[in-house]
A and B are shown apart, each in its own frame.
Chain A
Amino acid sequence: MAAARAVAAGYDVTGVHLALSRNAATHRTGARGCCTKEDAHDARRAADVLGIPFYVWDMAERFHEDVIEDFVAEYAAGRTPNPCLRCNEKIKFAAVLDRALALGFDAVVTGHHARLGADGLLRRSVDLAKDQSYVLAVLNREQLGHSMFPLGDSTKEQVRAEAHARGLAVADKPDSHDICFIADGDTQGFLRKHLGSEPGDIVDAASGEVLGRHDGAYAYTVGQRKGLALGRPAPDGRPRYVLSITPVSNTVTVGPAEALEVSQVEGARTVWTAGDPPTGPIECEVQLRAHGRPAPAVVELDGTAMNVRLRRPERGIAAGQAVVAYRPDPAGDVVLGSATITTAS
């Protein structure tokens, strides 16, 4: 549909499907989201309907190195990565864009739900439920300068209705959601296969007491409550949550809900999208996970580091996720910049 709108706007469009797996058939045989032969077929059909050329670009090796290996390494280091964000940063708006520019194209067009206006500012989609500006906030201005998101002005329903009216088969496809390279949706199983079993202790944050054992710290995410299998309740009878993961000692630390609360977040690898980076603290909103709600905060930059003071505490902030700063705006909240969360306290 993004291609259809670009064609309708008068652009000379070429369709590209990314082959991200060497053996595509093993990826998502259920055909949801991306990567499978069936999806390539659907994309090819859509290109035929639009009357545009269509090619498959083999990005499997780059994807493996930059996204899948990074995903595994991040979990091994006790962090919770977002592979979609990494794919945008390293594949779609880097490897693909570079190749496209070299071949004489001007921009990469994708179906992400976000708005990118003539002012060069990235804004949330009009469809807040489908907004994907969070996973695009890693893009720098050079990358955004060669990007187009024609779907950001519409709701998902409008896009689907339009696709249907244009006779594009994708109209009835299920939404893509989970991780495209984990075919069965079993992230834990995927990590176990790559990282192996590594038993360690589950420790109480307050007492330091060992409450149980785990098979690999990578199976846990900050804020997680289910699946701890501690076998006995806390002395106060209240539920316990994962507070932190320490790869060096291979321990998972648990504690009560309020211990999850943080008001200070540090980020690294800052990308500032909207104008020049601020020289002092600025009031704005931040989003701390893919589908999180915006939270008021004060953001300050120190070189490539980002310091975030939350106006009220937030729970379950995991290292490895992105912190994205937004400026509230009636015409769509504006992405200011992003960083990768290193610590939260």
Chain B
Amino acid sequence: MAYLDHAATTPMLPEALDAYVATAREVGNASSLHGPGRCARRRVEESRERIAAVLGARPSEVVFTGGGTESDNLALKGIYWSRRTELRRRVLAGAVEHHAVTDAVQWLADHEGAEITWLPVDGTGRVLPEAFAEALDDDVAVASVMWANNEVGTVQPVAELAALAAARGVPLHTDAIQAVGQVPVDYAASGAAALTVTGHKLGGPVGIGALLLGRDVPCTPLLHGGGQERDVRSGTLDVPAITAFAVAVEHAGKHQEQHAQRLAALRDELIARVRAAVPDAVLNGADPAEPGARLPGNAHFGFPGCEGDALLLLLDAQDIAVSTGSACSAGVAQPSHVLLAMGADPAAARSSLRFTLGHTSTPADLDALLTALPAAVDRARRAGLSR
């Protein structure tokens, strides 16, 4: 099996899995006052400190959540609710954000009186700082621009945007789910008010994540209850998941540079070999040669005349796991809003395929892909673009 879909989820690191299993054998609610409770609490707080240290945050700024979607929702809805006034109900969000952001923002518009400004991107998927500066005004409650895009891997100028936002007193949230471990991520240095990170994209478990949230950023909770996580996120803390998450974040931080170099080399080879095998394949997103412009593990191609879904099916039949990168609802692929925002026409948007590499990727994965790809493209071309 060649697994080329690490942006969807990546295997747990052995040390994270070990930490999970060891901790899951223990009893103890981190909110309990007795011995087992104190032991659990200690694990949680140590994990919080380790994560904070890696990501350039203070421990008190780490709010554990159930994952990326929850962190994004908490940041957008929570900050919007806290800051909303009659005259301040605008939300700024990048046009290429993940659905956890776009749909939360749309919900605020549909149900909570928010007015949305979608921030335009250039042909590589990068938010235009001029457009962001222009959209910033006294009526903005919250802004959100992802650190790196999950489909095409484009890295956003978060620090530049955060400085613009801070100058207008607007809190900027950034979804850094795809970025942590692949590019340097420092919360304090970025100037963002809130930052989303999740466990399972960097070798930790699914179902655990965090929102880094400044102490001075007002945020209304989504979940009420026991008052955990400074009252912003109630719910019994998942000690094994938090422990394993911290192990994975620490590993990601420690090895980020060499990991990125290895992935980039492998990714560049993948791009060269795909182009050699399918000369008219179109690479979407930022130039991989431009330093820091693109996630090192991401390659995203359009295959003219093919449907991405058909290619996925044909490669899947050869045990090669890839993604069309677009969101599914009932499994029906819609043309990617990311590619459409980048200026692609719907047919081009539907003809694309995402290859993402991770810590278990090897040259053998590329060999398997390139063995199967030419025939798959031929077949998919014959099947054509269905109406």
Assess whether A103 is in contact with B383, with CB atoms less than 8 Å apart. Answer: yes
Assess whether A40 is in contact with B331, with CB atoms less than 8 Å apart. Answer: yes
Interface residues of B in 306-359 (CB under 8 A from A): 309-310, 313-314, 316-317, 328-333
Output the least CB separation between A17 and chain B (Å).
7
Assess whether B309 is in contact with A104, with CB atoms less than 8 Å apart. Answer: no
Chain B residue contacts of A57, Cβ below 8 A: 309, 386
Assess whether B330 is in contact with A103, with CB atoms less than 8 Å apart. Answer: no
Contact with B along A89-127 (1 / 0, CB 8 A): 000000100110011100000000000000000000000
Contact of A55 among B309, B379, B380, B384 (CB under 8 A): B309
User: Are A99 and B386 CB-contacts (below 8 A) given A19-B331, A40-B330, A104-B379?
Assistant: yes
Output the least CB separation between A305 and chain B (Å).
31
- CB-nearest residue of chain B to A37: B330
Assess whether A53 is in contact with B386, with CB atoms less than 8 Å apart. Answer: no
Chain A residue contacts of B387, Cβ below 8 A: 61-62
Chain B residue contacts of A14, Cβ below 8 A: 313, 317
B34 at the A interface (CB under 8 A): no
Contact of A103 among B310, B328, B329 (CB under 8 A): B310
Output the least CB separation between B320 and chain A (Å).
12
Assess whether A53 is in contact with B316, with CB atoms less than 8 Å apart. Answer: yes
Assess whether B384 is in contact with A56, with CB atoms less than 8 Å apart. Answer: no
Assess whether A53 is in contact with B332, with CB atoms less than 8 Å apart. Answer: no
B25 at the A interface (CB under 8 A): no
Q: Which of B328, B330, B383, B387 has the most CB of A within 10 A?
A: B330
B382 at the A interface (CB under 8 A): yes
Contact of A19 among B310, B317, B332 (CB under 8 A): B332
Output the least CB separation between A56 and chain B (Å).
3
- CB-nearest residue of chain A to B331: A56
Question: What is the size category of the interface that chain A forms with chain B?
Answer: 20 to 34
Assess whether B314 is in contact with A103, with CB atoms less than 8 Å apart. Answer: yes
Assess whether B332 is in contact with A58, with CB atoms less than 8 Å apart. Answer: yes
Complex Cα distance, B330 from A60, in Å, reads: 13
Assess whether A53 is in contact with B313, with CB atoms less than 8 Å apart. Answer: yes
Output the least CB separation between B251 and chain A (Å).
33
Complex Cα distance, B314 from A60, in Å, reads: 22
Contact with B along A6-38 (1 / 0, CB 8 A): 000000001001010000100000000000010
A59 at the B interface (CB under 8 A): yes
A44 at the B interface (CB under 8 A): yes
Assess whether B379 is in contact with A56, with CB atoms less than 8 Å apart. Answer: no
A-B contact count (CB 8 A): 54
Assess whether A103 is in contact with B380, with CB atoms less than 8 Å apart. Answer: yes
Chain B residue contacts of A19, Cβ below 8 A: 330-332
Complex Cα distance, B379 from A304, in Å, reads: 35
- CB-nearest residue of chain A to B375: A104
Output the least CB separation between A28 and chain B (Å).
13
- CB-nearest residue of chain A to B312: A55
Instruction: Tell me the A residues contacting B by CB distance below 8 Å.
Output: 14, 17, 19, 24, 37, 40-41, 44, 53, 55-62, 95, 98-99, 102-104
Complex Cα distance, B383 from A104, in Å, reads: 9
Assess whether A24 is in contact with B330, with CB atoms less than 8 Å apart. Answer: yes
Chain A residue contacts of B310, Cβ below 8 A: 99, 103
Output the least CB separation between B325 and chain A (Å).
16
Complex Cα distance, B203 from A267, in Å, reads: 66
Contact of B314 among A17, A40, A104 (CB under 8 A): A104
Chain A residue contacts of B330, Cβ below 8 A: 19, 24, 37, 40-41, 56
Contact with A along B268-291 (1 / 0, CB 8 A): 000000000000000000000000
Contact with A along B242-271 (1 / 0, CB 8 A): 000000000000000000000000000000
Interface residues of B in 370-387 (CB under 8 A from A): 379-380, 382-384, 386-387
Known: A24-B330, A103-B383; 16 extra A-B contacts, CB below 8 A, are: A17-B331, A19-B330, A24-B332, A37-B329, A55-B331, A56-B330, A57-B309, A57-B386, A58-B332, A61-B387, A95-B386, A102-B379, A102-B384, A103-B310, A103-B380, A104-B314
Q: What 9 pairs across the A-B complex have the smallest Cβ distances?
A: A56-B331, A102-B383, A37-B330, A102-B382, A19-B332, A61-B387, A40-B330, A24-B330, A58-B332
Output the least CB separation between A337 and chain B (Å).
30
Chain A residue contacts of B313, Cβ below 8 A: 14, 53, 55, 103
Contact of B386 among A37, A41, A58 (CB under 8 A): A58
Q: Which of B313, B332, B379 has the most CB of A within 10 A?
A: B332
Complex Cα distance, B238 from A194, in Å, reads: 54
- CB-nearest residue of chain A to B384: A102
Chain B residue contacts of A60, Cβ below 8 A: 332
- CB-nearest residue of chain B to A38: B330
Output the least CB separation between A304 and chain B (Å).
27
Complex Cα distance, B333 from A41, in Å, reads: 15
Complex Cα distance, B387 from A59, in Å, reads: 7
Chain B residue contacts of A104, Cβ below 8 A: 314, 379
Chain A residue contacts of B333, Cβ below 8 A: 56, 58
Chain A residue contacts of B379, Cβ below 8 A: 102-104
Chain A residue contacts of B332, Cβ below 8 A: 19, 24, 56, 58, 60
Chain B residue contacts of A56, Cβ below 8 A: 328, 330-333
Output the least CB separation between A70 and chain B (Å).
16
Assess whether A53 is in contact with B317, with CB atoms less than 8 Å apart. Answer: yes
Complex Cα distance, B379 from A98, in Å, reads: 12
Chain B residue contacts of A55, Cβ below 8 A: 309, 313, 331
Output the least CB separation between A117 and chain B (Å).
29
Output the least CB separation between A226 and chain B (Å).
38
User: Are A59 and B386 CB-contacts (below 8 A) given A24-B332, A53-B316?
Assistant: yes
- CB-nearest residue of chain A to B382: A102
- CB-nearest residue of chain B to A41: B330
Q: Which of B309, B333, B386 has the most CB of A within 10 A?
A: B386
Output the least CB separation between A262 and chain B (Å).
39
22 contacts between A and B (CB under 8 A): A19-B330, A19-B331, A24-B330, A37-B329, A37-B330, A44-B331, A53-B313, A53-B316, A53-B317, A55-B313, A55-B331, A56-B328, A56-B332, A56-B333, A58-B386, A62-B386, A62-B387, A99-B386, A102-B383, A103-B310, A103-B379, A103-B383
Chain B residue contacts of A53, Cβ below 8 A: 313, 316-317
